[in-house]
Amino acid sequence: MTPDHEVRFRSVLDDVAAYKPGKPPERTDGRPTYKLSSNENPYPPLPGVLAAATDAAANMNRYPDMGALDLLEALSERFGVPVSDLALGTGSVAVLYHLLQAACGEGDEVVYAWRSFEAYPIAVQLTGATSVRVPLTDDARHDFKAMEAALTDRTRVVLVCTPNNPTGPVVRRDELLAFLDVVPRNVLVVLDEAYREFIREPETIDGVEVYRDRPNVVVLRTFSKAYGLAGFRIGYAIGHPPVIAAIRKCALPFGVSEVAQAAAVASLRAEKELLERVEALVVERTRVVDELRASGWKVPETHANFVWMPLGEETVAFSEALQAEGVSVRPFPGEGARVTIGEREANDLFLTIACAWRQ
Ligand SMILES: *Cc1c(COP(=O)(O)O)cnc(C)c1O
Question: Does residue 118's CB lie within 6 angstroms of at least one atom of ligand 1?
Answer: no
pLDDT (mean) for 101-120: 98
Q: Is-contact 173 162, C-beta < 8 A?
A: no
Amino acid at 182: V
Average pLDDT taken over every residue of the chain? 95
For residue 234, which of 52, 111, 82 has the smallest C-alpha distance? Answer: 52
Strand 327-328 and strand 34-35: pairing? parallel
Q: Which atom of ligand 1 is nearest to the CA of 233?
A: 7
What is the predicted pLDDT for the residue at 3?
63
What is the predicted pLDDT for the residue at 359?
73
pLDDT (mean) for 340-348: 98
What is the predicted pLDDT for the residue at 1?
57
Residue whose CA lies nearest to ligand 1 atom number 3: 194
CA of residue 231 to ligand 1 center, whole Å: 12
Rounded Cα distance, 117 and 164, in Å = 7
What is the predicted pLDDT for the residue at 67?
82
- Which of 114, 118, 165 to probe ligand 1 with, by most ligand atoms within 8 A of CB? 165
Residue 130 confidence (pLDDT) above 60: yes
2 — pLDDT class (breaks 50, 70, 90): low
pLDDT (mean) for 252-278: 97
Rounded Cα distance, 215 and 311, in Å = 40
CA of residue 91 to ligand 1 center, whole Å: 7
Rounded Cα distance, 285 and 266, in Å = 27
Question: Does residue 159's CB lie within 6 angstroms of at least one atom of ligand 1?
Answer: no
Q: Is residue 18 exposed (0-12), middle (13-18) or buried (19+ Cβ within 10 Å)?
A: exposed
CA of residue 202 to ligand 1 center, whole Å: 23
pLDDT (mean) for 113-131: 97
Q: Which atom of ligand 1 is nearest to the CA of 92?
A: 9
CA of residue 225 to ligand 1 center, whole Å: 8
How far CA 202 is from CA of 164, 168, 172, 174, 238, in Å, comes to: 17, 15, 9, 12, 22
What is the predicted pLDDT for the residue at 22?
77
Q: Is-contact 221 238, C-beta < 8 A?
A: yes
CA of residue 93 to ligand 1 center, whole Å: 6
What is the predicted pLDDT for the residue at 24?
82
182-220 pLDDT tens trace: 999 999 999 999 999 999 999 999 999 999 999 999 999
